[in-house]
C-alpha cells in the first residue's frame, strides 16, 4: 500500500469523525434532537418487545433515520442563517420556518407509520 492510499483512508476517516462530531454537537445543543432520540429509543424497545416483522423494521428504521437526517439538516440551516445575519430578516425567518416545516411533515409521517405498525400489536394485548 503506497502513501497515497494511506492518505485517502485518513481523509475518509477524518470525514467520518467530522460527521460524528456534528451529530454529537447537535445532540448536546438541540432539544428537539434529544426528543427524537428518546422517542426513537422507545420505538426500538417496542419493536423488540412486539417482535415486529423484517418489513416493519425497515419502515421503522427509515422513519428514525430520516427524522434524524432532517433534524440535522434543519439545525444546519438554522446555524447558517444565524451566522449570516443577527438581525431579523423576513427571508431568514422563512428559511428557518421552511426547514422546520420539513421536519414537521416528516414527523407526522413517522407517527402515522408508527400507528400503522404498532396499533395492531397493542390491540392484541387487550
pLDDT at residue 45, as a whole number: 98
| Residue 46: other Cβ atoms inside 10 A | 16
All residues at 6 or more sequence positions from 34 whose CB lies less than 8 Å from its CB, including other chains? 27
**In which residue are the cell numbers 431579523 written?**
88
Q: Which of 64, 71, 99, 107 is catalytic?
A: 71
Task: Give the dihedral of Cα atoms 49, 55, 56, 62; nearest 10 deg.
Answer: 120
56 in a known ligand binding site: no
CATH top class, domain 31-124: mainly alpha
pLDDT at residue 10, as a whole number: 74
Determine whether 71 is an active site residue. yes
88 in a known ligand binding site: yes
| Mean pLDDT for back-to-back runs of 10 residues, the chain (126 residues) | 68 86 94 95 97 98 98 96 92 96 97 98 94
pLDDT at residue 3, as a whole number: 63
Amino acid at each position: 500500500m503506497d502513501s497515497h492510499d494511506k492518505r485517502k483512508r485518513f481523509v475518509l476517516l477524518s470525514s467520518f469523525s467530522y460527521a460524528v462530531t456534528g451529530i454529537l454537537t447537535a445532540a448536546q445543543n438541540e432539544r428537539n434532537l434529544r426528543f427524537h432520540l428518546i422517542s426513537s429509543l422507545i420505538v426500538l424497545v417496542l419493536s423488540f418487545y412486539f417482535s415486529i416483522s423484517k418489513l416493519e423494521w425497515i419502515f421503522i428504521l427509515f422513519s428514525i433515520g430520516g427524522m434524524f437526517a432532517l433534524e440535522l439538516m434543519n439545525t444546519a440551516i438554522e446555524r447558517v442563517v444565524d451566522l449570516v445575519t443577527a438581525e431579523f430578516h423576513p427571508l431568514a425567518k422563512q428559511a428557518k420556518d421552511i426547514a422546520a416545516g420539513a421536519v414537521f411533515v416528516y414527523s407526522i409521517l413517522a407517527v402515522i407509520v408508527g400507528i400503522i405498525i404498532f396499533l395492531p400489536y397493542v390491540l392484541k394485548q387487550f
